[in-house]
Amino acid sequence: VKLIMDVVGTERRDITWKFNGNYYYMTPIADVQNCTAVLVLMKVDENNAGIYSVSYVGDSALYSAWIRLIVRECPKNKWGSDCDKDCSDCLNGGVCHDKDGDCVCPPGFMGMRCETACREGMFGRNCQESCKSENGCQGLSFCLTDPYGCSCASGWHGDRCRKPCLEGMYGADCLLSCNCKNKGKCNRFSGCQCATGWRGQYCEKSDRAPEILDMASNLEGNLNSSHKITCSATGLPLPSHMSIELRKLESIVLKASHTTMDSKKSTAHFEIPRLSAEHNGLWECRVSTNGGQDSFKFTLTVKEPPYPTTAPKLLSRSSKQLVVKPVDTYAGDSPIISTKLLYKPVDTEDAWSSIIGNSAKITSGFRNYCIKFMLTCRIISIYVVKGSGVSLYKPGHVETVSDQREMCKRQKIKPKYSKMRFKYCFSYQPGFSSYIPTTQQVERPMAEDHQLLWAVVGSVAVTCVTILLALLILFYIRKSCELMHSQGEETILQFNSGTLTLTRRPKPSPEPLTYPILEWEDIKFEDVIGEGNFGQVIKAMVKKDGIKMSAAIKMLKEFASENDHRDFAGELEVLCKLGQHPNIINLIGACENRGYLYIAIEYAPYGNLLDFLRKSRVLETDPAFAKEHGTASTLTSQQLLQFAADVATGMHYLSDKQFIHRDLAARNVLVGESLVAKIADFGLSRGEEVYVKKTMGRLPVRWMAMESLNYSVYTTKSDVWSFGVLLWEIVSLGGTPYCGMTCAELYEKLPQGYRMEQPRNCDDEVYELMRQCWRDRPYERPPFSQISVQLNRMQEARKAYVNMALFENFTYAGIDATAEEA
């Protein structure tokens, strides 16, 4: 390794090098050439890592120049505890971390491989931080985690980071050469800016402008119905999910709900949940890529289905015949082409008879008839009309043109036509010479109708009053119990000298719980790695029993409530009682300082499982890599199943200890060394076989079992339900459960038997395990011991139970960050 220092002074004196403050080497002034002093280190190892300074002989340290040498523990392009893993190709000056294999990106770049340049003056993991100065990041030095060290921001260099890059150079400290090809221009902040038709780091790959394929110029939909639109485009590179959008000129912009990609085109799928009059008019599908833009205009016509404005008319009747005119007038769009009238006697199981025409003659000797009719028209939905009201006909309504055509084939009607059914009941009483030519349903005398009506109303009223009184009594009893409970229970938290006293119920002498002590001086805080509303997690180096180790320190913020302090101390209590297990985050120790409690737990270098899964969605982060390797994830089926097996094993351990987790989800599972999954976040855990929640608070609704949602009851079997949802998260690479549904819809649909659909990349056996976890009756759900055995057996089978191959029309499960908060 060569350490090179610029000599800015003009004195003719020798140069002294120091290592960590001690004399190391002297460079004679005669060896200083081109105003640079060079120190060559041979066979560099970890002992050479440290601070090197250089100055004229005899000068104060204030006039020295400094440089820090960082020595990676692994050889170049290797990482891991045994240095046996290959680093990914870090671009734009990124450095591979020797512990976790991630690319540490220079200030001004982001992405899994540092492939994305931030805008000028921006930096950070997601390019969301900005330099506040008018000159951007000029004059600022950025120090990142080792082995990266410190540097200027992208586009600047020099001892004070005030010099812009020379022509042809870019990046942090201006160390990278653009080498742009095909008329690309070098930008000192981001590298090559390619001319139209070219892309790639050096503009070496050719582009082709996108082109929209086979889109209809006129689309129709029904008022108040859901409407789906697709827009397909080709090009190089293929348009990505965010590259295609729908616009209603000068008003609405729609983003695709999901996008499917194959080797030739990308297809974006859009959905308008409820068509209204404002959706009527001219729309445009717009595609933008590095290769250029394309757009296609189309007209969306929103039509109102026809419905009758008057009831059918009884034209004439005799002892053997009724003559009925089905439709007099109607409102809505589309002309009525033909009418089919169906009739049968009232209150019988006879099949419907039918007549086609604008008026119908019904011949029979029965007294009462029920009549319905169909309007064949150019409409996509089916309605039932009773009296003056309109509602959807129960057999279902047709949402798309393809569904419409299929329905028409089944009913032997020409394509582009469907049926409108309208139902009325008529009464025929022989012996009367006059009639009223309107629709009347005469089943019983008017007096009987009134008596029956009052009987029904009275019965309903009595029932409602009884239920209301019962609810009031239950509410009064519950409030009385809560008052007695609050008067007789006090939460007391005490921690001192390695003991924790957590009193939830009045006891004569609460038993203290012993925890391993850490000395405040033995904790060296580093970076904040997690933060919430009331607490934060900080990475630190701790010393325990004379051994230094990485740890995650959990602490509460100053304004945390009493409930937060109680839950936090409760988590320490749980960790102490659980002991050590390879598939849970284990306790290292705890420390009390100035009245605050600090809990040290194992450090998981790969963060939480949810973010880890989403980072593996390589089709979103690096489509070129995904297509080259034919994979949708950087993780294999075996690795995904191993995550599930690890969690099941950890939960089996918890259930044996009679602990209920209550918040089992991918976000609360951490990924440790060797990609071992470890259950974490025991703040809601309870050491009881059955726990009934009595307090209010935010609930993880999408992960909760039905008995927990309805009755606030938690058992190990409700944890099994949550595990089924976590298994779905793993298979979907971090998708949001029940994406697109509200919590209110879950409360309604889960008891009706609704469950999440099988992911397309999921084997039947894995999905069947999910369904077993989601059974209505808790006792029918499998225990964690059985789940663990099943998953380990799948692992041994070496079968691809989770298909990560980039099959045709592959799409990732949706992510809704706002929905995950509830």
pLDDT of residue 412 exceeding 60? no
| Inter-helix orientation angle 784-797/716-731, to 10° | 30
Place of tokens 């008057």: 310
Q: If DSSP states are collapsed to H, E and C, what string results for 278-347?
A: HHCEEEEEEEEECCEEEEEEEEEEEECCCEECCCCEEEEECCCEEEEECCCCEECCCCEEEEEEEEEECC
Place of tokens 């000395």: 519
On whether 535 is known to bind a ligand per the annotation, the reply is yes
pLDDT of residue 599 exceeding 50? yes
- As a whole number, mean pLDDT of residues 573-594 equals 89
DSSP three-state, residue 820: helix
pLDDT of amino acid 320: 64
Which among 213, 205, 204, 216 has a CA at the least distance from the CA of 239? Answer: 213
Label residue 563 by pLDDT band (50, 70, 90).
confident
pLDDT of amino acid 163: 92
Kind and range of the H or E run holding 26: strand 22-27
Q: Write down the pTM of the prediction.
A: 0.43
pLDDT of residue 123 exceeding 80? yes
Kind and range of the H or E run holding 787: helix 784-797
Label residue 611 by pLDDT band (50, 70, 90).
very high
Backbone angles phi, psi at 374, to 5 degrees: -115, 135
DSSP three-state, residue 257: coil
On whether 559 is known to bind a ligand per the annotation, the reply is no
pLDDT of residue 168 exceeding 70? yes
What are residue 714's DSSP bridge partners?
691
Token pair for residue 47? Answer: 């002992």
DSSP helix, strand, coil percent of the chain (3-state; round to 5): 25, 35, 45
Backbone angles phi, psi at 663, to 5 degrees: -145, 45
Place of tokens 């990278």: 176
On whether 534 is known to bind a ligand per the annotation, the reply is yes
Helices then strands, each counted (H, E), the chain: 12, 56
Cα 537 from Cα 681, distance rounded (Å):
12
Label residue 290 by pLDDT band (50, 70, 90).
low
- As a whole number, mean pLDDT of residues 134-149 equals 87
Token pair for residue 406? Answer: 């299929």
Q: What is the pLDDT of residues 86-116, one digit of tens each?
A: 888 888 899 998 888 888 899 998 877 888 8
Which among 93, 101, 87 has a CA at the least distance from the CA of 148? Answer: 93
On whether 611 is known to bind a ligand per the annotation, the reply is no
Q: Are 342 and 312 in contact (CB under 8 A)?
A: no
pLDDT of residue 1 exceeding 50? yes
On whether 187 is known to bind a ligand per the annotation, the reply is no
On whether 583 is known to bind a ligand per the annotation, the reply is no
DSSP three-state, residue 520: helix
Q: Are 371 and 415 in contact (CB under 8 A)?
A: no
Label residue 693 by pLDDT band (50, 70, 90).
very low
Report strand pairing: 389-392 vs 499-503: unpaired
DSSP three-state, residue 187: strand
Q: What is the total residue count of the chain?
A: 822
Instruction: Return left, alpha or beta for 72; rule: phi > 0 is left, psi -120 to 50 is alpha, else beta.
Output: beta
On whether 821 is known to bind a ligand per the annotation, the reply is no
Q: What is the pLDDT of residues 6-26, one digit of tens each?
A: 887 778 888 888 888 888 888
Q: What is the pLDDT of residues 734-748, one digit of tens each?
A: 999 998 888 888 888
Q: How many CB atoms are closer than 10 A to CB 564?
A: 17
Q: Are 630 and 773 in contact (CB under 8 A)?
A: no
Give, as one character, the DSSP assignment of residue 617.
Answer: -
What are residue 258's DSSP bridge partners?
269
Cα 250 from Cα 253, distance rounded (Å):
9
Cα 470 from Cα 464, distance rounded (Å):
10
**When comparing pLDDT for 177 and 315, which is higher?**
177
Label residue 806 by pLDDT band (50, 70, 90).
confident
pLDDT of residue 249 exceeding 80? no
Q: Are 190 and 170 in contact (CB under 8 A)?
A: yes
Which residue numbers are catalytic?
A: 663
Token pair for residue 443? Answer: 């089943």
Q: Are 630 and 619 in contact (CB under 8 A)?
A: no
Q: Which amino acid appears at position 406 of this protein?
A: E
Q: What is the pLDDT of residues 748-799, one digit of tens each?
A: 899 999 999 999 889 999 999 999 999 999 999 999 999 999 998 888 877 8
Q: Which amino acid appears at position 248 of this protein?
A: K
pLDDT of residue 432 exceeding 60? no
pLDDT of residue 353 exceeding 80? no
Token pair for residue 265? Answer: 């085109």
Give, as one character, the DSSP assignment of residue 562.
Answer: H
**When comparing pLDDT for 376 and 635, which is higher?**
635
Which among 325, 318, 364 has a CA at the least distance from the CA of 345? Answer: 364
pLDDT of amino acid 480: 55
Q: What is the pLDDT of residues 487-505, one digit of tens each?
A: 444 333 444 444 444 444 4
Q: Are 142 and 152 in contact (CB under 8 A)?
A: yes
The mean-pLDDT minimum among 145-154, 381-390, 555-564 falls in 381-390
Label residue 415 by pLDDT band (50, 70, 90).
very low
Cα-based angle 205, 211, 212 (whole degrees, multiple of 5): 145
pLDDT of amino acid 132: 76
pLDDT of amino acid 643: 95
**When comparing pLDDT for 121 and 436, which is higher?**
121
Dump the DSSP string for 350-405: PPPEEEESSSEEEE-S-SEEEEEEEEEES-S--EEEETTEEEE-TT----SHHHHH
Q: What is the pLDDT of residues 316-339, one digit of tens each?
A: 776 667 777 766 677 777 666 667
Which among 437, 424, 430 has a CA at the least distance from the CA of 323? Answer: 437
Q: If DSSP states are collapsed to H, E and C, what string results for 426-454?
A: EECCCCCCCCCCCCCCCCCCHHHHHHHHH
On whether 404 is known to bind a ligand per the annotation, the reply is no
Q: How many CB atoms are closer than 10 A to CB 343?
A: 21
Q: Are 387 and 350 in contact (CB under 8 A)?
A: no
On whether 667 is known to bind a ligand per the annotation, the reply is yes
Place of tokens 């009607």: 413
Label residue 278 by pLDDT band (50, 70, 90).
confident
Q: Are 515 and 590 in contact (CB under 8 A)?
A: yes
pLDDT of residue 687 exceeding 60? no
- Give all strands (DSSP E) within 545-662, no chain letters: 547-556, 587-593, 596-602
pLDDT of amino acid 768: 94
The mean-pLDDT minimum among 357-366, 628-637, 725-734 falls in 357-366
Percent of the chain at pLDDT above 70? Answer: 77
Percent of the chain at pLDDT above 90? Answer: 22
Dump the DSSP string for 90-130: --TT-EE-TTT--EEPPTTEESTTS-EEPPTTEESTTS-EE
Q: What is the pLDDT of residues 362-375, one digit of tens each?
A: 554 434 545 554 44
On whether 786 is known to bind a ligand per the annotation, the reply is no
Cα 410 from Cα 6, distance rounded (Å):
85
